[in-house]
Amino acid sequence: MTRTRVIAALILAPVAIAAILLLPTPWLMALSAIVFLAGLWEWFRLADVEDTLARSVLLVLNLALMVALVWASRTSSGFNYVLIQLATVLGVVWWLLACLWLRHFEFGADHERPYARVLKLLAGTAAIVPAWCAMGMLHHAEPNGHRWLFIALAIVWAADSGAYFAGRRFGKRKLSPRISPNKTIEGLAGGMACGLLVALVFAPMAGAGWAQLPLVALATVVAVAFSVVGDLFESLLKRHVGAKDSGDLIPGHGGILDRIDGVIAALPVFAVGKAWLGF
């Protein structure tokens, strides 16, 4: 399985990196919308929405929200990112609330209660749409926005890989045994170290000065922590419905949501951190 995971990553990573570094922001946003909405489709499945028509309608509504955000941000002189930025901040608020949800495993587990599915569907929108907005916010930022977006994603990828291998080699103390038995504190530490290493190596290439590196490190630590929250929340959804993966599209990795669960939580945090800390 490790070999399959590595091969799949070696195929997908260059495509993603090329899109980030070479495509203009509107094209990247369009492409990423497809990926994020595919993840949202799997989220609906984990929310126990099995009817294809219902899931299609919900997906179209979320697509309409994305289009509305772009349309409302257009001005006569170009593009105003205020609404995109506001949506990104709301994404950070949602993931703070998700931390509370993780402390109460049984909340929303019974899908016979109407509020359970509704809350999970709203949570899907609150997770996916702000992450998509954060991607556009980072990529469009001047100067070197495309490089900063690459760094944000590379941090999550490195943290995920570092946590996987450190957890397998050193993992003993469980991080959240009821939600994700395989995650360990040692894995978290390994992931955090790998994420920081990537951030500090690549940040100067995006224009960060030496004095700004501590700020980059701070944003990285918080973003990696939130990526773990995103991973744990998806694991919570899977536990509630008894699913091992969100899908089976990517060999060795599961579904789209299994690959972007940490990204959708980390992107808004990193984008907001970069804007507020000014690096």
* pLDDT tens by residue, 202-215: 999 999 999 999 99
Take residue 259 and report the two structure tokens written for it: 């690959």
Question: What value does the mean pLDDT take over residues 25-31?
Answer: 94
Residues 6+ away with beta carbon under 8 Å from 180: 231, 232, 235
List, for residues 60-91, the tens digit of each pLDDT value. Answer: 999 999 999 999 988 766 677 889 999 999 99
The residue ranges of every structural domain in the chain are 2-277
Instruction: Tell me whether residue 254 is exposed, middle or buried, using C-beta atoms within 10 angstroms of its C-beta: 0 to 12, 13 to 18, 19 or more.
Output: buried
- pLDDT above 70: residue 234: yes
Using CA atoms in the order 126, 43, 242, 118, what is the torsion angle rounded to 10 degrees?
50
Measured distance CA(152)–CA(160) in Å, rounded: 13
Question: What predicted TM-score, i.e. pTM, was given to this entire model?
Answer: 0.92
